[in-house]
Structure 1
Amino acid sequence: MALRPYWKGYLKLSLVTCPVQMMPATSESEKVRFHTLNRQTQNRVVSHYVDSVTGKEVKEEDEVKGYQRGSTNTLFSKTRSLRTLLSKAPRRSTSPHSRRAIA
């Protein structure tokens, strides 16, 4: 897979303007991934979600994303609709040097 730049911009030095790209330093095949292991048995550890009140394990089909608004109001969303919401939401730059919102 071809490397894609994280950021593109221009570097301006006096009268000379040069295009600049920020590229990742490693590719996906070069990344190191660690597994969580049991120190005594050296077997892999499997993570499970547990209900904070009942202490029972939550089935994968019962897991949902949610956003708590106040102490009693929670908004639930399916992953697909959450991605759609986030892609349509306007993003604003937090840089003090930015003149306009990033769309």
Structure 2
Amino acid sequence: MKKDIFTITEVIAIVMDLADKLKVYELYGFEDESELHITRHLNDKLESLYSVEYDDFLCRCSEIAEDILSIKTGELNELNQCHEEIGFLAKKKLKEFLIDI
């Protein structure tokens, strides 16, 4: 099992993109099945995970995205609050994947 490969900042980028996809579903009723809008470096890290780890990691990130969706409005203050909440939840739900712990 690969461990300790993501920083909190990287998790924030992934979760925020997943939250955007959830927001599209909430607003328009269809799933955005496009790829994640993340950097190539971050995508390479995701692809380095084994299939089971990849699914587990994205499932947990999706749970965090659902948790923060209600506070994500796009305003700067709410975005800062989202980043704080993602950091807090990531440390609980993704600690085996994080470098910064």
TM class by smaller structure = under 0.3
TM-score w.r.t. length of structure 2:
0.21
Which has a greater percent of helix? 2
Which has a greater percent of strand? 1
TM-score w.r.t. length of structure 1:
0.21
Q: Which has the higher contact order (CA 8 A, sep 6+)?
A: 2
